[in-house]
Amino acid sequence: ITFDDMTSEHSFKNVTFLNVLRYIVMVLTIVLQFSFLASDIYTLIQIYVLGNWANYHSISYVPILAYKIIFTACIGISIMFLIITWWYGTYVYKTNRVVRSYLDDVAMNLHSLNSFEKFCIYRQISTKSFYDWFVISIYQSWHFSIYNWLFADTPRQMLNGATIAYTISNSFTSSNIVHIVKDIANRNSQEAILLSFMTFSFFVWVIFTVKYLAVLLSSACICSSIRKKDGVTFSKFIHKMVADAVLEMYDEQDKK
């Protein structure tokens, strides 16, 4: 079923406070994801152009060579991942198919940004029950953002986390990172800016880490239970569940 099939005869636009709030959250999440990568790109650029790493006393706990190697490799992986996922997501977006695009983050975001009605269709699919929403979230994470988090985001955030922890442990005035950054800014504004970007990036990573840890811990149990109960793979189960939800939604509109 395509969006043209869904919307040619029926209207699915549902302007409620909750839907508008969800839409805003979606937009903010997209902005946060790009800001997260941009922050680390800025950090990498600054590391390469710094004159003397040893003069940056608050953030020089991790050797600069380690930062250069790990950040360069990880950001390179992230950029390649971004290019591939957006290329494939754009391809799925152009097919205009509801089920296929719903199971691809990029295609779903593109459709949602392009049309609030399509966003409402997606929300109706995912709000049947908490279980449906959760298993779909697991599927979407494994296709394929969790790999980027594991192999590209996590290694470089370990360095940022170590730097932040070192900075806090060596501060005699406060354990509040905001106050520490302000104090450093009085001595070295460039160092304070760099630490601010590291801190922002690290805390965004923590937010995504909570999600992906939940996915990792739940995947084994849920996937095995689906295989035992329904006798199908997790992927086939998700595709069927979403397809059934779309057909049910379409039939409900036909009956009105």
Q: Where are the domains of the chain?
A: 3-255
Distances (CA, A) of 121 to 23, 65, 93, 139: 12, 49, 15, 19
Q: Which two tokens stand for residue 144?
A: 């394929």
- pLDDT of 85 over the 90 cut: yes
What local confidence, expressed as pLDDT, does residue 173 receive?
A: 61
What are φ and ψ of residue 121, in 5° steps?
A: -60, -45
Q: Tell me the per-residue pLDDT of 2-39, one tens digit each, with 9 for 90 and over.
A: 888 887 766 788 889 999 999 999 999 999 999 999 99
- pLDDT of 172 over the 60 cut: no
- pLDDT of 254 over the 80 cut: no
Q: Dihedral (C-alpha) 58, 61, 67, 68: value to the nearest 10 degrees?
A: 80
Task: Tell me what the mean pLDDT of segment 164-175 comes to.
Answer: 76
CA distance 242 to 247: 9
b/e per residue, 43-53, with b = 16+ CB within 10 A? bbebbeebeee
Q: Considering only the C-alpha atoms of the chain, give the largest distance between any 2 of them, rounded to a whole number of Å.
A: 72
* Residues whose CB falls within 8 Å of the CB of residue 234, separated by 6 or more in sequence, listed in order: 139, 222, 223, 226, 227
Higher pLDDT, 43 or 174: 43
Mean pLDDT score of the chain: 88
pLDDT above 90 covers what percent of the chain?
46
Per the CB < 8 A criterion, the answer to whether 31 and 117 are in contact is no
> Of 125, 121, 79, 86, nearest to 106 (Cα)?
86
Q: Which two tokens stand for residue 15?
A: 């302007």
Residue 250 pLDDT class (50, 70, 90 cuts): confident
CA distance 117 to 11: 8
Residue 176 pLDDT class (50, 70, 90 cuts): confident
Please name the amino acid found at residue 203. Answer: F
Per the CB < 8 A criterion, the answer to whether 130 and 172 are in contact is no
Least confident of 27-36, 66-75, 212-221, 242-251: 242-251
Q: Tell me the per-residue pLDDT of 214-234, one tens digit each, with 9 for 90 and over.
A: 998 898 888 888 888 888 888
What local confidence, expressed as pLDDT, does residue 74 receive?
A: 96
- pLDDT of 56 over the 80 cut: no
Q: Tell me the per-residue pLDDT of 96-114, one tens digit each, with 9 for 90 and over.
A: 999 999 999 999 999 999 9
Per the CB < 8 A criterion, the answer to whether 191 and 58 are in contact is yes
Q: Which two tokens stand for residue 139?
A: 């599927």
